[in-house]
Every structure is written in C-alpha cells, then in structure tokens.
C-alpha cells in the first residue's frame, strides 16, 4: 500500500518525518480498532474457513485452481478491471487537463460534474444505466438515428465496463487533476523556447510529469473495480459473472463458505501481488533515475 500512498502525494517531495508517530500514535487507535473488528477478524475467519470447510485441507484451493469456471472468472474480473481502468483514463485525462486550463468558476462546475454522481446512490445510477443501455433504450435509439446498431450493450461485458467506468471516473479525475494542477506551465514555454513543437513539449514534459497522477488514479480504479458486485450483477450477463458474483453464489446460493472464502483469499492475494509488482516497477524507475 505504500506504493499507493507515495504515488498519491507526489507534490510533497519529502516523506513524512520519521518518529513523529511515537507521541501521536494513539490517535490511530479508534481507526485501528474499527479495522480490526470489522475487517481483520472477518478476513481471518474467511481465510480460516477456506482451509477448514467442509473438510480441513487445501481442497478449496485445489478446486479453484482446477476449475475452469473459477479461473475464467478471475481472468474476466482482471480483464474487466483493466478495461475499466483504460476507459476511465482515456476519459479522465483530457477532462482533468481541461480542469487545469479553465477559470476558477468553470473549474467549480467541472468538479461538481465529476462529484455529482458520487453523491447519488450506486443503485440508482446502475438502474439508470439499465434503462439507458437496454436493447431499445436511449443509447440504441440514438445510435439508430445515425444508422448504427442496435448493439447488444446490456448483459455484455461492454455494458459492465460502461457502467463501472462511470462510477469510477471520479477516482481517476481527482488524482489526475491534483497532479496536473501542480505542473509548472512555464516548463512547456521553456520546452517550446528550446525548439520543441507544442505537441512534443506536451508529450515530453507534461505527460511524464502527470504520470504520478495516472498511477494513483489507475491503481485506485483497478483495485476498486475488482470488488464490484452491484453493477456487474445488474448490467452483466449471469454467464459472464465477475468474481464477486461467483463468491456471492458460492456463499449465498450453495452455502459453500469454504470455496467462497478461498476465492476471496485468491482475489486478495492476486491484488497484493499486482500491487507489489507496481511497487517494484516504480522503485526500479526511480533508482534508475537516481532520485531521492
């Protein structure tokens, strides 16, 4: 998780002072207690059940690793997560860039536009997408007027990606904006003064400097997307279920707590491994650059 925190605070060049935690550490107690009771204990229970139910042993894990359906679900979940990350990035980068270019008043509106869905219930938004994306919904009617479609949008992975991207976009826009607004525009002037065309100046100076924001946003969106349940359940097809839906089916439908737990543990492990890889890559790029 340190990788995430480091990416999220790129402007503050220095790390928090060490030792400052000693005297004020107790302020963390309520949060730690809450996490322990509501997160660590259930997590431990789940992990425990995954190796004890229905019989002690690694049976649940060997089932997962040999079940084509389970593995396909895991791969699908990661793929959808990657697609959602890519889509939100493509939508958010120009949006965040626009936010840094406009005046203060327009910026407030643009920020509100991002946050407004945030303040609306996830259920409401997802049902709205159901209405919009259905076979004779608004989107398909619009496509029809320009001679396209109708397309099968709902009950497809595409529909899931559309819905999840909309939900997760604020998590991409806000870190991007935070990093972009800290980039010194005179650097672009300087680059052009030295003979770089505006497009080159943007690619060679602005884009690299905005990467910490891309990293923070992409990581948040990707990890959050792995646990999505409501949106894929409503917009997706049952035979294209994501891992959270599978876990729900195992636990709620089949009462297979052990298998459900094993799937949860595998998802957690995969996420941690991916995070670790990102951290390693970041460290390598930094050391190569001789920074800090």
Partner 1 sequence: MSAETSLIKARGARIELAQVRKEYADSVAVDDVSLVVEPGEFMTLLGPSGSGKTTTLNIIAGFTTATSGTLTVGGKQMQDLPPHRRDIGMVFQHYALFPHMTVAENVAFPLKQRKVPKARRAEMVEAALETVRLGGYGHRRPRELSGGQQQRVALARAVVYEPSVLLMDEPLGALDKKLRESLQLEIKRVHQEVGSTFVFVTHDQEEALVLSDRIAVFNDGGIQQVGTASELYEKPQSLFVAEFLGESSTVRGRVEPDGDDSCLRVGDRTVLAAGRLAKGSAAAVVVRPEHLRVQPVAEPVGPGVNALPARVTQEIYLGSGRKLELALPDGTVLLAREQADRLSGVRHGDEVTVVWDVERGVLLDDASGTTHPPTSGDRIPVAAAEKSGR
Which chain residues interact with partner 1 by CB under 8 A?
13, 184, 186-187, 189-198, 200-201, 204-205, 208-209, 289-291
Q: Cβ of residue 276: shortest distance to partner 1, in angstroms? A: 24
Buried-state track 27-51, b at ≥16 Cβ within 10 A, e below 16: eeeeeeeeeeeeeeeeeeebeebbb
| 1 versus 194: smaller Cβ distance to partner 1 | 194
Count of beta carbons in the 10 Å neighbourhood of residue 185: 11
Would you say 122 and 110 are in contact if contact means Cβ atoms under 8 Å apart? no
Q: Cβ of residue 190: shortest distance to partner 1, in angstroms? A: 4
| 10 versus 236: smaller Cβ distance to partner 1 | 10
| 209 versus 270: smaller Cβ distance to partner 1 | 209
Per DSSP, which regions of 174-292 are E strands?
A: none
DSSP 3-state helix, strand, coil percentages of the chain (rounded to 5)? 80, 0, 20
Q: Is 290 left (phi over 0), alpha (psi -120 to 50) or beta?
A: left
Q: Cβ of residue 208: shortest distance to partner 1, in angstroms? A: 5
| 122 versus 209: smaller Cβ distance to partner 1 | 209
User: First and final CA of the chain: distance in angstroms?
Assistant: 19
Q: Cβ of residue 16: shortest distance to partner 1, in angstroms? A: 18
Would you say 175 and 218 are in contact if contact means Cβ atoms under 8 Å apart? no
| 121 versus 286: smaller Cβ distance to partner 1 | 286
Nearest to 82 by CA among 277, 270, 232, 226: 226
Q: Cβ of residue 292: shortest distance to partner 1, in angstroms? A: 9
| Residues ≥6 apart with Cβ < 8 Å to 79 | 157
Q: Cβ of residue 280: shortest distance to partner 1, in angstroms? A: 20
| 135 versus 184: smaller Cβ distance to partner 1 | 184
């Amino acid at each position: 998780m340190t990788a995430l925190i480091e990416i999220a605070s790129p402007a503050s060049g220095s790390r928090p002072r060490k030792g400052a935690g000693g005297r004020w550490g107790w302020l963390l107690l309520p949060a730690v207690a809450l996490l322990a009771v509501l997160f660590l204990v259930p997590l431990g229970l789940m992990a425990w059940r995954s190796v004890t139910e229905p019989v002690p042993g690694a049976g649940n894990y060997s089932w997962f690793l040999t079940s084509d359906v389970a593995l396909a679900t895991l791969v699908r979940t990661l793929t959808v997560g990657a697609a959602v990350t890519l889509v939100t990035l493509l939508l958010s980068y120009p949006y965040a860039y626009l936010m840094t270019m406009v005046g203060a008043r327009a910026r407030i509106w643009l920020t509100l536009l991002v946050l407004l869905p945030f303040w609306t219930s996830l259920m409401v938004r997802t049902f709205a997408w159901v209405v919009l994306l259905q076979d004779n919904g608004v989107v398909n009617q619009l496509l029809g007027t320009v001679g396209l479609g109708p397309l099968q949008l709902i009950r497809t992975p595409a529909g899931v990606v559309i819905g999840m991207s909309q939900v997760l976009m604020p998590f991409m826009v806000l870190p991007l904006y935070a990093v972009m607004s800290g980039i010194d525009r005179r650097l672009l002037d300087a680059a052009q003064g030295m003979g770089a065309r505006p497009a080159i100046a943007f690619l060679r100076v602005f884009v690299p400097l905005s990467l910490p924001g891309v990293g923070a946003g992409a990581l948040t969106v990707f990890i959050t997307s792995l646990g999505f349940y409501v949106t894929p359940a409503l917009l997706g097809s049952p035979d294209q279920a994501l891992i959270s839906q599978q876990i729900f089916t195992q636990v709620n439908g089949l009462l297979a707590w052990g298998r459900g737990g094993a799937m949860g543990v595998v998802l957690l492990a995969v996420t941690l491994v991916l995070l670790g890889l990102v951290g390693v890559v970041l460290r390598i790029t930094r050391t190569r650059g001789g920074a800090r």
